[in-house]
A and B are shown apart, each in its own frame.
Chain A
Amino acid sequence: MGLEPPVLAVENVFKRYQVSRGLLRPKRSLQAVRGVSLSVDKQRTLGIVGESGCGKSTLARMLLNLERPDEGDILLDGRSAGTVGRLDFSARVQPVFQDPYSTLNPRRTILETVMHPLRVHARGERNARETRAARLLDLVGLPRRAHHAHPNQLSGGQRQRVAIARALVLEPQVLICDEPTSALDVSIQAQILNLIQELQKEFGISIVFISHNLAVVEHLCDEVAVMYLGRVVENGPTADVMASPRHPYTKALLDSVLTPDVGLGLPDLQLGLEFPDPTNVPPGCAFHPRCPHREPVCSTEVPPACAQAGHGSECHFADRLAGAFAGPAAVCAGRG
């Protein structure tokens, strides 16, 4: 977008796993991520949405340099993640995970947990580390009396605040949030999301926000990428994608958001009963077995990939469908 290169970029990344099916049966290849390209600009928020098993979390692990892609590369400030040292990388990209109950080491106190990254990076003396950790815990709104508590004495929301403090204590450039609120109560979710937004302004960080909650993504993200079976099927500015989806899967996702109006019943998504199987990706467009708009070409030819900039869609009939899909502007306003 801007003149500066993106802070974090994903270039045509592939990741496969070998799935064992027992001792004597041959292993199968699970294609978790199949050629994904994305980028996050400075101080912007990129949302990644998709159903379970579409490769979101694998992508997050690669963005955190916890796993290396089989093909393609992750670029941090234009440098390949493989050439940036592990310490150097971790000082600039930090995670907030999904499950508040397993994200903190149960044997450490809260203050020790937040001080630990500083110790690993050998920053400051013990007292300076303690002061800095305490300041961050104040910033995320954790009461002082909780500093010497162990994680099991805190609520889920408080633990997630600690996880955010731990992620920010090194002053990273990018925060990778892997469904940070999906395990929390709805009332707490809003608090944590607002906290993340405030801290983003205060620290000037970029965020990759992985979620299956479209309302949250719409609220938080500048740009959004929709993933299906390991590929980005649609990307673009959040408002554009939400208002005028150009891929039938995005349309189905938007339609699946439940409204408070009980009278409307459950939406009919016309997705059929086929479930996506990453060990057996369909030929042509991966979405075609479930697509209500499929035509013969969809099962034989792979549609052209999304454009990197602007609003792109990986569908043979994106333009035709875009007109048909144009509906209500906001997710929360209801479904078409």
Chain B
Amino acid sequence: MSVAQTHSGERASARRLRLRRWGQHGGLLIGGALLACAIVMALCAPLLAPADPYLQELGARLKPPVWAEGGSWANPLGTDQLGRDYLSRLIYGSRISLLIGLGTVAIGGAIGITLGLLAGFFGGRVDMVISFIVTARLAMPVMLVALAVVGLVGSSLTVVILVLGLLLWDQFAIVTRTAVRQIRDLDYIAAARAVGSSTPSIILREALPNVTGPILVVVTLEMAHAILLEAALSFLGLGVQPPLPSWGLMIAEGRDYIFFTPWVIAIPGAALFLLVLGINLFGDGVRDVTAPGGR
């Protein structure tokens, strides 16, 4: 009984220690806060948005935000060229950005991490074949291929996620392969084999948990990358289609008015910048805090 109590006590204190370490990392906190804002915005969009993001009020087009001359609290961030409430569109737009980011990373990560684990763990011929595939993928310009495919298939949210996911796996594969190569000859892998663990179990239980640090960083980088690519595709008119409120699309729709009402571009641009910054800070922070060496 007393032994069990001290055990649970040690576990609790270890947890407290971990929490304190998380709380002391400035970048992690800022990134986490930005990311949390975006997630809350995306999840609670119907509750937070003051108006319907699709409702057009042609009499109230291109109204300035509340801090500018002529702005009002009726539309805190003003309205766009069709008179839609900009704040509402921004809030709903976070859904698109996060969906694109997560969807792309899920597909790309699944492909890249699998290939990287196989190449790094087995080496030899497997590594040669997979490295060739990665090299072939690296030879393709992402933007051009994405444009071509979207142009051929037609554009929708699903198509954008699929295309980006199938293109953005190379970094996952490269980083995972390198990390696994560094650990595959270590004694704990040999010990697991000597204990009788099967090869899939060794790859998933011994190798993968020890390469999550670098992979996590790639997750955040690629998520940010995908969000920016979606914005670029939408800006070019080949991404998310109107009237869906994508941040990239909002920038595209506002570009005719850049000299007269610059906030139409500045507001979604700033949102995009903050989200990408937040994701990158968060990724770096998590890597710093969870790396066993940093304990």
**B is bound to A:** yes
A97 touches B196 (CB 8 A): no
Say yes or no: A99 contacts B7, CB within 8 Å.
no
Which residues of B188-221 have CB atoms within 8 Å of chain A's CB atoms? 188, 190-197, 201, 206, 209-210
Separation of A215 and B270 alpha carbons in the complex (Å): 71
Supposing A90-B196, A147-B7, A148-B7 touch, asked if A107 and B292 sit within 8 A by C-beta, the answer is yes
A317 at the interface (CB under 8 A from B): no
A3 CB–B CB distance under 8 Å: no
Query: Do A153 and B10 contact each other (CB < 8 Å), given the known contacts A91-B196, A102-B187, A120-B195?
Result: no
Question: Measured between alpha carbons, how far is A305 from B196 in the docked complex, in Å?
Answer: 35
CA A250 to CA B206, docked complex, whole Å: 40
Bound together, the chains give a CA A86 to CA B199 distance in angstroms of: 11
The reply on B11 being an interface residue by CB < 8 A is yes
In the complex, what residues of B have CB within 8 A of residue A64's CB? 190, 194
Complex Cα distance, B14 from A153, in Å, reads: 12
User: Is B7's CB under 8 angstroms from A166's CB?
Assistant: no
- B127-149 Cβ-contact flags toward A at 8 Å (1 or 0): 00000000000000000000000
A152 touches B292 (CB 8 A): yes
Which residue of chain B lies nearest to A151 when distances are taken between CB atoms in the complex? Answer: B292
Asked, given contacts A64-B194, A95-B190, A144-B3, whether A152 binds B10 with beta carbons under 8 Å apart, the answer is no
> How far is it, in angstroms, between the C-alpha of A66 and the C-alpha of B190 when the chains are bound?
8
> Would you call B292 and A90 a contact (CB within 8 A)?
no
Do A97 and B6 touch (CB < 8 A)? no
Known: A102-B186, A105-B210, A145-B10. A150 touches B191 (CB 8 A): no
Decide: A98 near B187, CB < 8 A? Known: A106-B292, A152-B292.
yes
User: In the complex, how many angstroms separate the beta carbon of A84 from the nearest chain B beta carbon?
Assistant: 11
A-B contact count (CB 8 A): 73
Which listed residue (A66, A148, A150) contacts B194, Cβ 8 A?
A66
Mark B1-17 against chain A: 1 for CB-CB distance below 8 A, else 0: 00100110011001000
- B20 within 8 Å of A by Cβ? no
A90 touches B194 (CB 8 A): yes
Classify chain B's interface size: 20 to 34
Which residue of A98, A148, A152, A166 contacts B295 across the interface (Cβ within 8 Å)? A152
Q: Cβ of A121 < 8 Å from any Cβ of B?
A: yes
Name B10's contact: one of A91, A102, A148 (CB within 8 Å). Answer: A148
Given A148-B7, A148-B10, A97 and B210 contact (CB-CB distance below 8 Å): no
- Asked if B293 is at the interface (CB within 8 A of a chain A CB), the reply is yes
Compute how far the CA of A190 lies from the CA of B278 in the bound complex, rounded to whole angstroms: 53
A120-B196, A148-B14 are contacts. A105–B188 as well, Cβ < 8 Å?
A: yes
**Closest residue on chain B to residue A117 by CB atoms:** B195
Q: Are B191's CB and A97's CB within 8 A? A: yes
- Chain A residues within 8 Å of chain B by Cβ, number: 35
Contact between chains at B195 and A97 (CB < 8 Å):
no
By a CB distance below 8 angstroms, the chain B residues around A150 are 292, 295
Bound-state CA distance A163–B206 (Å) is 16
Q: How far apart are the CA atoms of A90 and B186 in the complex, in Å? A: 18
Q: Which residue of A lies closest to B195 (CB)?
A: A117
For residue A120, give the distance in angstroms from its CB to the closest CB of chain B: 5
A149 to chain B, nearest CB (A): 8
B195–A99 CB distance below 8 A: no
Q: Is the CB of B195 within 8 A of A90?
A: yes
Interface centre among A61, A95, A121, A170 (most CB of B within 10 A): A95
Q: Which residues of A contact B209 (CB under 8 A)?
A: 105, 107
Q: B295 and A97: CB pair below 8 A?
A: no
Contact residues, A107-127 vs B (CB, 8 A): 107, 116-117, 120-121
Q: Which 9 A-B pairs have the closest CB atoms?
A: A90-B196, A97-B187, A102-B186, A103-B187, A87-B196, A107-B209, A106-B292, A117-B195, A105-B188
Could you name 29 residue pairs across A and B whose Cβ atoms are closer than 8 Å?
A64-B194, A65-B194, A66-B193, A87-B196, A90-B196, A94-B195, A95-B191, A95-B194, A97-B187, A97-B190, A99-B187, A102-B186, A103-B191, A105-B192, A105-B209, A105-B210, A106-B292, A107-B210, A116-B192, A117-B196, A120-B197, A120-B201, A144-B3, A144-B7, A145-B6, A148-B11, A148-B14, A150-B292, A152-B293
10 further A-B contacts with Cβ under 8 Å, apart from A97-B191, A105-B206, A170-B195, are A64-B190, A64-B194, A90-B195, A95-B194, A106-B292, A116-B195, A148-B7, A150-B295, A153-B295, A166-B191
